Amino acid sequence: MRLEGKRALVTGSSQGIGAEIARLFSKEGATVVVNHRAGAPHPERTVDSIRKAGGKAFALHADVSDPVSVRGLFRDVKKRVGGLDILVNAAGLADRTLWNLKLEDTTLEMWQRVFAVDAFGTFLCTQGAAGLMKRGSSIVNVASIPAIVGDTEGLVYASAKGAVISMTRMFAKMLAPEIRVNCMAFGSIETTWVDWLGKEQARSYLSAIPMRRFGKPSEAADLALFLAGDKSSFITGQVITLDGGEAAR
């Protein structure tokens, strides 16, 4: 097992990619702290599935955009498992109101809402985790390919992920040699947002992907495992795309 004895916190792991990462890390021997906000529709689903499979996990509810909540989260992580070896900053906000938006309809409130979770959340959780991590620990961030290559929509979301990419490079240098910090930049991975797409829209998304399919959450989790574990021990400050070739230039 590749994460035997490690303690991992995965933010935003009530569903989607975060949940898949939590499950894979547990299969690889980690004790996993599953994080999401209180009041999620299926609050204990991820923890239940991990425990049913014989893994070790517990949930800690916290809003990653709220400094008080994040302080409480890391206080509880310390109390429950004593420290941390891996942090995955997977919590993200990308509701459907943020797409198909004209520039003139884009509001500052949207920037504040999305940056609060994706960018400020990544900062706050990195700050909290760094205080609990020893040499050999790893932080894995989550971004998106429009932050690298641009797009005609999703301005606010892509910009917040651009901040995550900058933080990845900054934190990699600031926290070395103790802690490695890398980032996964996803293209289209099949989670809840795919259900919003009509047939025509789905076809148009797929036509932009050389592999002609959406990525699977399990493929995202495999990359997270590589970056979190010792197989990537000399890699830090990198942004690795997982996109079926969409951002290839």
Ligand X SMILES: NC(=O)c1ccc[n+]([C@@H]2O[C@H](COP(=O)([O-])OP(=O)(O)OC[C@H]3O[C@@H](n4cnc5c(N)ncnc54)[C@H](OP(=O)(O)O)[C@@H]3O)[C@@H](O)[C@H]2O)c1
Query: From the list 55, 92, 154, 162, which residue makes contact with ligand X (rule: CB under 6 A)?
Result: 92
| Closest distance of CB 173 from ligand X, Å | 23
241 binds ligand X (CB under 6 A): no
CA distance 186 to 5: 28
Q: Could you tell me which residues come within 8 angstroms of residue 129 by beta carbon, excluding any fewer than 6 positions away?
A: 9, 74, 84, 87, 137, 139
65 binds ligand X (CB under 6 A): yes
CA distance 137 to 178: 7
User: Using an 8 Å Cβ cutoff, are 45 and 15 in contact?
Assistant: yes
Residue with tokens 């935003």: 12
122 binds ligand X (CB under 6 A): no
26 binds ligand X (CB under 6 A): no
Give me the phi and psi of 59, to 5 degrees please: -100, 140
| Closest distance of CB 185 from ligand X, Å | 7
Residue 205 known to be catalytic: no
Give me the phi and psi of 246, to 5 degrees please: -60, -35
How many residues bind to ligand X according to rule CB under 6 A? 29
113 binds ligand X (CB under 6 A): no
Q: Which residues pair with 11 in a beta bridge?
A: 89
Closer CB to ligand X, 34 or 172, in the complex: 34
Residue with tokens 């951002």: 247
Residue with tokens 């949940």: 19
Closer CB to ligand X, 94 or 136, in the complex: 94
Query: From the list 28, 63, 85, 246, which residue makes contact with ligand X (rule: CB under 6 A)?
Result: 63
Closer CB to ligand X, 64 or 104, in the complex: 64
Give me the phi and psi of 31, to 5 degrees please: -85, 125
227 binds ligand X (CB under 6 A): no
Closer CB to ligand X, 90 or 155, in the complex: 90
Closest CA to 233 of 78, 29, 25, 85: 85
91 binds ligand X (CB under 6 A): yes
Closer CB to ligand X, 118 or 234, in the complex: 118
Stretch that binds ligand X, among 15-23, 24-32, 201-209, 231-239 (CB under 6 A): 15-23
CA distance 158 to 110: 12
User: Using an 8 Å Cβ cutoff, are 33 and 56 in contact?
Assistant: no
User: Using an 8 Å Cβ cutoff, are 101 and 50 in contact?
Assistant: no
Residue 19's identity, in one-letter code, is A
Rg (CA), the chain: 17
Q: Which of 25, 157, 171, 214 is catalytic?
A: 157
Query: From the list 6, 10, 18, 221, which residue makes contact with ligand X (rule: CB under 6 A)?
Result: 18
Query: From the list 192, 201, 204, 233, which residue makes contact with ligand X (rule: CB under 6 A)?
Result: 192
Residues that bind ligand X (CB under 6 A): 11-18, 35-37, 40, 63-65, 90-94, 117, 142, 144, 186, 188-189, 191-193
Active site residues: 157
